[in-house]
Structure 1
Amino acid sequence: MNTNKLQVFVFAMLFVVGAFTGCVDEDDDDKTTTTADEGPKVQSDQSVKIGFLNPITGPLEPDAPGFKWGVDEAIKDLTAMYADKNNSFEVIEMDSGCDGDTAASAAQTLVDSGVVAVVGAACSGASMSANAVLSAAGIPMISYASTNPGLSDASAYPLFYRNVPSDAIQGPAGADMMADAGTTSGSLAILHMTNDYGSGLADSVKAAWEEDGHTLCGAGMQGYAEDTTDFSALAASVADDATCTSVYLSSYIVDAAGIIEALEDKEYSGKIFGGDGPAGIG
């Protein structure tokens, strides 16, 4: 997990608790303090439960320990921040599985546990499903990694927040990056996972590329299931097409590595680009 991702994660934790801690037990006037200049009430002598959706299993499993480290560091900061209020903070960690069904079930457990807010999920599909459960219970969530453009729709995903940019921004940035690197019209292939993150980013890149007046190469844009392990046919479709001299990967870490290895096996010598997904650890 790189440093920037950890910083974003810790900030997400601080944002959630800073924004919503003061909303608990507001009717207990004896335990609140506020002035006109102090802003929102800050409760004293309370235990605050924070939900944490972590991809302990699934395609982002390699990142889970880094996310957990971020939680631990944020709790230290929060404890110090509210030391004079005698508050304690309890994190309830659940596995999102980077999967909609798993995340929805985990979200219900967090609701039943009495959390005031939730940090996560990481994967866009997991956040979408968890939001349906959490928003119905009036519980806000802030994601540190979900970038699907659809999540910006406050009507469809109420009480959802994130402190990472939408792929509606990353797509045009990626298109500009590839053009600046010498990728020309008719030379780009796009390979993407068919989950909410992979498809969302790929669609954004393709739309931006075509909006700039460019076309894709003969291999075009192709999707694959996120649990795919054999990328030989996918790599061959790019390497065997002479028009495809650049490829963009809308992927996670493990599948990106598999595709790159498969392209190497096919003696592909073109440029390879990617978004935030393959950044990984380090």
Structure 2
Amino acid sequence: MKTKSIWILINVFILFGYAHNAAQAEIKVGIAGPLSGISVNLGEQQEIGAQKAIEHQNDKGGLLGNEIVAISVDDACEPRQAKAVAKQLVSEGVVFVVGHGCSACSLAATPIYEKAGIIMISPASTNPKVTEEGGDNVFRVIGRDDQQGTIAGNYLADHFGNSKIAIIHDGQAYGLGLASFTKRQLNQRGISEFLFDRYTPDQKDYKPLVNKLVQKNIDVLYAGGYLTDIGIILRQAKKELPNLRLFSGDTLVNVEFLFVAGEAGTGTYFTFGPDMRQRPEAQEVAAAIREEDAYEPDGYTLYSYGAVQAWAQAVEQAGSLKPNAVIRALRSGSFDTVIGKIGFDEKGDVTGISTFVWYVFGKEDYSLAK
């Protein structure tokens, strides 16, 4: 009886030890983005891409022999909530975060990750301050708004120099930054906008703003902000200004814009990075997402997938999960991803891929502008 009891205790300790080791074998990765609110489309793309990359990495045996576990959190594109979910991810013990999506959220969360030694790669935050003010742990796989604004300002100057141009923004880090860089480039080309104004996000009625556009008889509108707000503004503005032309930035990269704006959305131009669905190295992954997730991997989806790939390859190159070792690998290495062979410069900005190109909405989808 005594011998039996001893073996029971031994088995208990073995099982406890196995469970403990199994728990240690998990590598926790955070996916932080807007899963609710006006930018939910961005967050959905980000989450699906990152989760699929983690799934595929686990299919190959995980990372350093360990399984990767994804923890998704919703920052709602709100800086205060971004701080809260960043602290949650720290308490969960994540070693890497794919995110945030919105620039203001990345700016709010990066100091928390830096203090905790957590690496962050954003697939969508374009405000220059994200990498310029962030620590060595901060990276992104998308271009910057100073690049995007320069392209937009030049396009408006080249094609609409004699038109009445208005530039609007939502006052947030992304929208204000993009609008300001566009305005700066337009002004440097010797052209002054007729209106530079702020709107309040997440509204249903933008009549006061529309009235300003009508009073100045605006021909061309450049909007810095998020998809839902811009779609509503355009739909309401075109009732009064049927010939109004809209130009905007990367957050419009979703066919949902056409559902929000309705027929008014047709002909809208926006800038975004290269459509990674067209890359040869992305074909297998894109097909898997379509088949297994019933989701079209447009917008930031493959950028998020590529962010996970770059981090995982950096871990493998470093042979360790230690933050300093992985950061050194990220800053010095090159990585084969679905978005191309990429690297990162001294600030953490992506290298190896084009920054922004123009797209235009048709009646059902968007395509590369000619």
**TM-score normalised according to structure 2 size:** 0.59
Letter in 2 for 1:207: R
Q: State how many pairs are aligned.
A: 233
Q: Is 2:170 the partner of 1:196?
A: no
- Equivalent in the alignment of 2:154: 176
Structure-1 separation of matches of 2:140 and 2:100: 10
Q: Deviations over 1:119-154 (max 9, x none)?
A: 100001111111121111111111111111222314
Q: Deviations over 1:55-109 (max 9, x none)?
A: 1122211333332221221112211344595321101111111111101110111
Q: Is 2:227 the partner of 1:253?
A: yes
Counterpart mapping for 1:128-139 below 5 A? 128-139=107-118
* 8 Å CA contact 1:186, 1:216 repeated in 2: no
SS at 1:97 equivalent: coil
- Equivalent in the alignment of 2:130: 151
Letter in 1 for 2:198: G
SS at 2:36 equivalent: coil
* 8 Å CA contact 1:128, 1:157 repeated in 2: no
Structure 2, unmatched stretches of 5+, are: 1-23, 256-364, 366-370
Q: Is 2:197 the partner of 1:222?
A: yes
Structure-2 separation of matches of 1:51 and 1:168: 28
Q: Deviations over 1:16-48 (max 9, x none)?
A: xxxxxxxxxxxxxxxxxxxxxxxxxxxxx9321
Q: Which has the larger radius of gyration?
A: 2
Runs of 4+ in 1 over 6 A off after TM superposition: none
Counterpart of 1:58 (choices 20, 28, 37) is: 37
Structure-1 separation of matches of 2:111 and 2:162: 41
* 8 Å CA contact 1:239, 1:268 repeated in 2: no
Structure-2 separation of matches of 1:84 and 1:211: 49
- For the structure 1 residues 158 and 229, does the alpha-carbon distance in structure 2 shift closer, same or farther, using more than 3 Å as the test? farther
Counterpart mapping for 1:259-270 below 5 A? 259-270=233-244
Letter in 2 for 1:69: I
- For the structure 1 residues 254 and 90, does the alpha-carbon distance in structure 2 shift closer, same or farther, using more than 3 Å as the test? same
- Equivalent in the alignment of 1:79: 58
SS at 2:94 equivalent: coil
SS at 1:129 equivalent: helix
Structure-1 separation of matches of 2:149 and 2:86: 30
Letter in 1 for 2:53: A
Structure-1 separation of matches of 2:43 and 2:147: 25
* 8 Å CA contact 1:192, 1:222 repeated in 2: yes
Q: Deviations over 1:140-180 (max 9, x none)?
A: 111111111222314x5442111110101000011122234
Structure-1 separation of matches of 2:242 and 2:131: 37
Q: Could you say what the CA RMSD is over the residues aligned between the two structures, in angstroms? A: 1.9
Structure-2 separation of matches of 1:65 and 1:100: 18
Instruction: Quote the sequence identity (%).
Output: 27
Structure-2 separation of matches of 1:214 and 1:168: 18
Structure-2 separation of matches of 1:125 and 1:245: 30
* 8 Å CA contact 2:43, 2:101 repeated in 1: no
SS at 1:216 equivalent: coil
Counterpart of 1:115 (choices 67, 87, 94) is: 94
Structure-2 separation of matches of 1:209 and 1:131: 32
Structure-2 separation of matches of 1:100 and 1:83: 32
Q: Is 2:257 the partner of 1:279?
A: no
Counterpart of 1:207 (choices 174, 177, 184) is: 184
Structure 1, unmatched stretches of 5+, are: 1-44
Q: How far did 1:185 drift?
A: 5.1
